[in-house]
Amino acid sequence: MVVSMEKFKQRYRYSFILLYQLVVTDFKLRYQGSALGYIWTLLRPLFMFVILYLVFGVVFNAGASVPHYPVYLLLGILLWNYFSEVTNNGIQAISSKGDLLRKLNFPKYVIILAGSISAFINLVINFFVLIAFMAFAGVEVYWHASLFLLILAELFVLAIGMAFLLSALYVKFRDIGYIWEIIMQAGFYFTPILYPITLVIDRAPAIAQIQMFNPMAQIIQDARYLLITPKTSTFEQIFSTGWYRLWPIVAVVLFTVLAAWYFRRQSPNFAEDI
Amino acid sequence: MDDDIAIKVDGVYKNFKLPHEKTNSLKSLFMNIGKKRKKGYEVQHALKDVSFEVKKGEFFGIVGRNGSGKSTLLKIIAEIYQPTKGKVQKSGRLVPFIELGVGFNPELTGRENIYLNGGLLGFSKKEVDVMYDDIVTFAELEKFMDQKLKNYSSGMQVRLAFSMATRANADILVLDEVLAVGDEAFQRKCDEYFKIIKEDKTKTVILVTHSMDAVRRFCDRALFIQDTVVKAIGSKEDIANKYTLENLKMPSDMIAKKGEDYPDGLSERVPFFEITTNANKLLSNSDMLNFKISYKITDNTPINTKISILDESRGGYPIVQNGAGAIAKKGMNSLEYEFPLTLYNDTSLHIIATLDEEKTQKRIAFTNEGNSLRVVVRNSGRMSGSALLRREGEYYGRWKNGQADL
């Protein structure tokens, strides 16, 4: 066991060192030259939240049926923003490092992993704001809230898988950048972030079912169920029986394994394809 | 792979696909579906069947002209590019220096860049902590470490990058000649560093260079690559000489084709003029330089033949000029010339000649690039630095024969 641990350390030593340096550098560079610096990490999602809350919560009253709608909305936005940050940065992560890739051979996955971890640290910082909001709104927290860590793990795996696929595709087909932008815009509304999925279930249950096949919808609904209110329709409730219940985990794991495999297969050619 | 081999390159081919039109968009991908498969790219062969081995502890040179494939070979050895066919095996940790200061970020301070670059070289934060002061001292940048790199002069950046490079903890170092930039003081540091790693028998070095001087000073063996294939592998002297000789050959496009106007220096009156040698073009300084001047003239006007021997290694300054008077006979003429090289150190000589009318001093012909002669001289005796003449003479005065002479 000790021997294999040593071997593991030897094998991944360089990757660890690189990963650490890339994450640290990303943090140093992120808000360089801006007066408020890291505070923007908190302000950006908060402003987005305020705007969306005013439009959908106050004007359209979309969350009338949901207890603690503002916190419910904020949680959805934070999780979506994380996914959006990882994939949008990931898409160009490899090709923007072209200069480095042509001078040095190093494990390419570290670039994607570093971007993912940077975004995850931001997400964690933002969660402190969410916790403050939850306390302020008087949200009751149960023991099953700890299961939320599993949902976070699922989100991390899904986002990094998507980043692997997109970054490797982008090296060959630059159009992917624009296509992904459109998908993300559509996805923001197709995923129940601003409105509760129950609104769709009432009118067109079949569409709600299709919507829930989107892993981001399942992740956001499960997170809300665990942290904010049990009055949230989760994937399990919508597909209460049968093998459907395995879909989220199978889809996310299988997708990420395939994406990582594709990335790994393409990575030796990155230096000359970029 | 044998234990004493550091790098084994085995039958390596590399082809690049050069697209006619950059086709990395989805549209062109879809548009081309169903069409008859027309190749959208040309295949460029960058390397063909390259095989060689580098022993552990060796300082190995790779020489070749621009476009010969040597940089591609370097990148394949460094695993930056994948070979199309064949394989490369290595034993030990390899660190390439295709360029100095890889990964340097202008928005970070000198200190932050040291840690970042250190990470790329495989050093953990703790390891960089330990050598940080040495790196800064060596680069002579103590006062600037908290300034952003973008405010450094290029000289300062190179110093910092080089200081990092000398720390590289590798069994195999792959160096591109771009390292040899910077001012004279920096060049000296580079030279010193090369000498140190040459002495260090635990380190294997592969150096890609144009400079035959560097090959002769540092390398144990070298490889000469030309037009994507290995032309020769051998001792440093052998390769340096072959490379220099190869570069003496004139590219064919500089020699005018037959049937067109007369090439530079020739005319209807003197349609043929050339300098040739039967002897080797690579000479030792114990040899005699021997060449023949031949020309064809269509009249009997008396003319003078003049030759110049130019020192090409040192800027083309003439070291000998000599004329022979008033020989002229309609038809083919030839003269031979002999010149002792005993005094000379390493050099490349360019031998040119002119024909002048004796009476009017009017120049009627000269040898152009294509029909003049180039030879290389190698000092077979004691190394004499980069001087034109061999090391000769004795010291008198305070010291004589290693003894004080007061």
DSSP track, chain A: -HHHHHHHHHHHHHHHHHHHHHHHHHHHHHTTT-SSTTHHHHHHHHHHHHHHIIIIIIIS-TTTTSTTHHHHHHHHHHHHHHHHHHHHHHHHHTGGGHHHHTT----THHHHHHHHHHHHHHHHHHHHHHHHHHHHHT----GGGGGHHHHHHHHHHHHHHHHHHHHHHHHH-TTHHHHHHHHHHHHHHHSSSSS-HHHHHHH-HHHHHHHHTSHHHHHHHHHHHHHT-S-S--HHHHT-SSGGGGHHHHHHHHHHHHHHHHHHHHGGGHHHH-
The pLDDT, as a whole number, for residue B19 is 75
* Nearest chain A residue to B122, by CA: A14
Min Cα–Cα distance to chain A from B105, Å: 9
Q: Cite the residue boundaries of each domain of chain B with CATH code 3.40.50.300.
A: 5-25+39-93+170-248
At B53, the pLDDT band (50, 70, 90 cuts) reads very high
Q: Where are the domains of chain A?
A: 15-273
Are residues B81 and A28, on separate chains, in Cβ contact within 8 Å? Answer: no
Mean pLDDT of B340-359: 88
The pLDDT, as a whole number, for residue B254 is 47
Are residues A103 and B24, on separate chains, in Cβ contact within 8 Å? Answer: no
Q: Cite the residue boundaries of each domain of chain B with CATH code 2.60.40.3880.
A: 265-378
Mean pLDDT rounded to a whole number for chain B: 84
Interface check for B43 against chain A (CB to CB < 8 A): the answer is no
Interface check for B116 against chain A (CB to CB < 8 A): the answer is yes
pLDDT in tens, B186-221: 778 778 888 888 888 899 999 998 888 788 888 999
Mean pLDDT of B269-275: 87
The pLDDT, as a whole number, for residue B103 is 86
Are residues B112 and A21, on separate chains, in Cβ contact within 8 Å? Answer: no
The pLDDT, as a whole number, for residue B7 is 94
Asked if pLDDT for residue B402 goes beyond 90, the answer is no
DSSP track, B293-318: EEEEESS---EEEEEEEEEGGGTSEE
Mean pLDDT of B322-338: 80
Q: What percent of chain B has pLDDT over 90?
A: 28
Interface check for B322 against chain A (CB to CB < 8 A): the answer is no
The pLDDT, as a whole number, for residue A190 is 94
At B159, the pLDDT band (50, 70, 90 cuts) reads confident
Min Cα–Cα distance to chain A from B118, Å: 9
Q: Which of A264-273, B247-256, B268-277, B323-332 has the lowest mean pLDDT?
A: B247-256
Kindly report the pTM of this predicted structure: 0.79
Are residues A14 and B81, on separate chains, in Cβ contact within 8 Å? Answer: no
Interface check for B272 against chain A (CB to CB < 8 A): the answer is no
Mean pLDDT of B315-344: 83
Min Cα–Cα distance to chain B from A107, Å: 11
At A240, the pLDDT band (50, 70, 90 cuts) reads low
At B33, the pLDDT band (50, 70, 90 cuts) reads low
The pLDDT, as a whole number, for residue B270 is 86
pLDDT in tens, B310-326: 888 887 788 888 888 75
Query: Interior CA angle at B130 toward B127 and B135, to 5°?
Result: 100
At B222, the pLDDT band (50, 70, 90 cuts) reads very high
Q: Which CATH architecture has domain B5-25+39-93+170-248?
A: 3-Layer(aba) Sandwich (3.40)
At B399, the pLDDT band (50, 70, 90 cuts) reads low
Give the best residue of A20, A94, A104 to mutate against chain B (max B CB count within 10 A): A104
The pLDDT, as a whole number, for residue B123 is 92
The pLDDT, as a whole number, for residue B90 is 92
Min Cα–Cα distance to chain B from A96, Å: 12
Mean pLDDT of B346-357: 88
Mean pLDDT of A162-177: 94
Amino acid at B16: F
Mean pLDDT of B6-12: 94
Min Cα–Cα distance to chain B from A12, Å: 11
* Nearest chain A residue to B109, by CA: A28
Interface check for B98 against chain A (CB to CB < 8 A): the answer is yes
Cβ contacts from A onto B, under 8 A: 72
* Nearest chain A residue to B97, by CA: A103
ipTM above 0.90, yes or no: no
Are residues B124 and A175, on separate chains, in Cβ contact within 8 Å? Answer: no
Please tell me which residue, A12 or B313, carries the higher pLDDT value: A12
Contacts of B96 in chain A (CB under 8 A): 103-105
Asked if pLDDT for residue B78 goes beyond 80, the answer is yes
Are residues B99 and A103, on separate chains, in Cβ contact within 8 Å? Answer: yes
Asked if pLDDT for residue B148 goes beyond 90, the answer is yes
Asked if pLDDT for residue B400 goes beyond 70, the answer is no
Asked if pLDDT for residue B136 goes beyond 90, the answer is yes
Q: Which CATH architecture has domain B265-378?
A: Sandwich (2.60)
Give the best residue of B31, B111, B120 to mutate against chain A (max A CB count within 10 A): B120
DSSP track, B242-296: HHHHHHHSPPGGGSPPTTSSPPTT--SSS-EEEEE-SS-SEEETTSEEEEEEEEE
Interface check for A25 against chain B (CB to CB < 8 A): the answer is yes
